[in-house]
Amino acid sequence: MKLQNKVALVTGAGSGIGQTTAERFAMEGAFVIVNDVSERSGLETVERIRESGGKALFLLADVTDAAAVQAMVGEAIKACTRIDILFNNAGISGVGAIHEIEPEAWDRVMSVNVRGVFLPSKYVVPHMMERRAGTIINMSSCVAEIGLARRASYSASKGAVLALTKSMQVDYAKYNIRVNALLPGTIMTPFVEAYLERSYDDPEAAIAAIQKRQLSGQLGKPEDVANAALFLASEESSFMMGSPLYIDGGIVFGKDA
């Protein structure tokens, strides 16, 4: 059990990568605080964890809402006395080149994906500073590193998360807090399924197009990212600080032609 007696807060844990990671953390002995903006999905994750013998609690909050996030962190501390691991996972997609994006859509992507990392960190970090211990995992994406067509708002948001991760690490290293980022490639989750449906007429062609830009013949699975998150959350990664961890089937560093 790699997270025995740890308390982990996972944002956006009602679906996809967040849900699978919450379940994985619980299997490894953590008490998991499941956050989501959707009560139905968050409660489903808690039920799945409890059915497998794990411990979890659902706390509803929109990660862009400062008062709601502050209240959520207060509730979590009241229930568990501390937060050892913060996984800032909640995020939304954004499709379009700059000239196609409405200002409101741009703001929404930046708000959920960047402010949604800032706020939970802002309210959790003081508790970690007090205890001089903690691990924070921020969800970036391999689009922070590569140019990908019609992802202007999304890649800007994930690039910001990567830069923020490094900056946070410098500020909090002296408090024994580690801050690292995950950079997944294309992972089959409801988020990607919806994007494929919206962007392509033929889903088979869409999957073939995605496979062409990576070295692996498979698309990623939520478990692939959950395993990486577990590594960053555990003592096994104790010498990793401010690092990007790629889980991308070879998108960023591979070129097969």
Active-site amino acid positions: 154
Of 175 and 195, the one with the shorter C-beta distance to ligand NAD is 195
Check binding of 234 to ligand NAD (CB under 6 A): no
Which of 48-76 are b and which e, b meaning 16 or more Cβ less than 10 Å from the residue's Cβ?
bbeeeebebbbbbbbbbbeebbeebbeeb
d(CA 57, CA 63) in angstroms, rounded, equals 17
Burial category of 33 from C-beta neighbours within 10 Å (exposed 0-12, middle 13-18, buried 19 and up): buried
Number of H helices, E strands in the chain: 9, 7
Name which position in 3, 7, 9, 14 contacts ligand NAD (CB under 6 A). Answer: 14
Residue 191 found at the interface with ligand NAD (CB under 6 A): yes
Nearer CB in complex with ligand NAD: 135/186: 186
Site string for ligand NAD, 44-83 (x = CB under 6 A): ------------------xxx-------------------
d(CA 209, CA 225): 21
Q: How many residues bind ligand NAD (CB under 6 A)?
A: 29
Intra-chain end-to-end CA distance of the chain, in Å: 42
What mask, x for binding ligand NAD by CB under 6 A, covers residues 122 to 161?
-----------------x-x--------------------
- The single residue listed with the structure tokens 């509730």 is 75
**What is the rounded distance in angstroms from the CA atom of residue 246 to the CA atom of residue 164?**
17
Among 33, 34, 83, 91, binds ligand NAD (CB under 6 A): 91
Give the interface segment with ligand NAD, choosing from 15-23, 163-171, 205-213, 230-238 (CB under 6 A): 15-23
Binding segment for ligand NAD (CB under 6 A), chosen from 84-92, 96-104, 127-135, 202-210, is 84-92
Say how far residue 173 (Cα) sits from the centre of its chain.
21
Alpha-carbon torsion, ordered 202, 203, 206, 210, to 10 deg = -170
Residue pair 138/89 in contact (Cβ under 8 Å)? The answer is no
Q: Of these, 41, 121, 234, 237, which contacts ligand NAD (CB under 6 A)? A: 41
Cβ proximity to ligand NAD, 15 vs 234, nearer residue: 15
**Binding-site ranges for ligand NAD (CB under 6 A):** 11-12, 14-18, 36-38, 41, 62-64, 89-92, 112, 116, 139, 141, 184, 186-187, 189-192
